[in-house]
Amino acid sequence: MSRPSGFTEIDVPDQSGKCFIVTGANTGIGFEVSRVLATRGARVLLACRDQAKAEAAMAAIRQKAPGANLSFLPLDQADLASVRAAVELAAREPRIDALINNAGVMTPPLTRTKQGFELQFGVNHLGTFALTSLLLPKLAQTQGSRIVVTSSLAHRGGKIDWDDLNAEKSYSRLRRYSASKLANALFFFELDRRLRAAGSPVTAVGCHPGAAATELGRYLGPLQLLLPLTRLLLNTAAMGAWPTLQASTAPVMPGNYYGPRGFREIRGVSGEASRSADARNPEIARRLWDASIAMTGIDPGLPPA
CA angle in degrees (0–180, nearest 5) for 111-117-122: 90
Exposure string of 65-76, with b = 16+ CB inside 10 Å and e = fewer, is beebebbbbebb
Going by their DSSP bridges, the two strands 270-272 and 43-48 should be labelled as unpaired
User: Phi/psi of residue 225, each to 5°?
Assistant: -65, -20
What's 4's DSSP letter? P
What is the distance between the alpha carbons of residues 280 and 164, in angstroms, rounded to a whole number? 22
**What is the rounded CA–CA span in Å between residue 214 and residue 300?**
32
Give the active site residue among 171, 177, 219, 258.
Answer: 177
Specify whether 171 is catalytic.
no
What are residue 270's DSSP bridge partners? 7, 260
Where in the sequence numbering do the catalytic residues fall? 177
